[in-house]
Amino acid sequence: MKKLPLLLIALPFFFGCSKEEVKPAMSIKNDDITLFRESAETLIVENNPGDMLFESQNKLIASVSDEGVVEGGVRGETTVMVTSLGEVAVAKVVVNTIINYIPEPYLGFGENIETVKSKVNYDEDFIEMDDGFAVTRKIDKTDVVYVYGFEDGRLNMSFFMFKTLSNITSVITDFLLERYVPVSLTGAYSAGFISPEKDMAVLLSASDNKDYIYVGYMKYDGEAEAMARALKTLTLHSIPQ
């Protein structure tokens, strides 16, 4: 009797045993999302093995619901993570702003006056002050004064001011809400905000006679009341009106 070659005997064994299928890893199809304040997009999660848990790295910049709906908060960049039975997928979320024609003041807190002056545009009206300086700019047909206040020779406050009856008055609240998180609201033009990193406080305030609106910035140290007092003192005694 002829003997079959060993290879022919083994063929049914190899062809009869299929390889174990490798399941694709969980992933997010739309893993690079751009939003604006209060706009939203639903994450498209593929190959999830079971129930999913959604979490935002910074909920102030962007939040995410239990259903995977990501909603824009304030300006910034964060990540949203999806976990399911030990698998993890991540999406990048960028929140942009719509109102971009109003420049914010220079915010290099702690820098000396010469450094700050070198960063500020000198092409427009310049005002010397006892404890700092100011620059006037024309924005949307509005004269806006940018003020830089110093303590012990170091920048400790930046703010800008404009007349209440100005074109930008109607958008200033939305301008701030796109960038900062409100923490207090005491009037139409009186509110406190904090940056999403919680390292800077912003105060929206009106002058006593309601002729001017101020938007002030300071490093956040947990004392918003101190910022309000400093802003009021600086605006009342240092700025020619």
- The tens place of each residue's pLDDT in the chain, 241 residues long, gives 455 555 455 555 445 545 567 889 999 999 999 999 999 999 999 999 999 999 999 999 999 999 999 999 999 999 999 999 999 999 999 999 999 999 999 999 999 999 999 998 666 688 888 889 999 999 999 999 999 999 899 998 999 999 999 999 999 999 999 999 998 876 667 888 999 998 999 999 888 888 999 999 998 877 666 666 655 655 554 454 5
196: left (phi over 0), alpha (psi -120 to 50) or beta: alpha
This prediction's pTM: 0.83
The CATH T-level fold of domain 24-96 is: Immunoglobulin-like (2.60.40)
- In the three-class reduction of DSSP (H, G, I as helix; E, B as strand; rest coil), residue 169 is classed as helix
Are residues 176 and 168 in contact, defined by beta-carbon separation less than 8 angstroms?
no
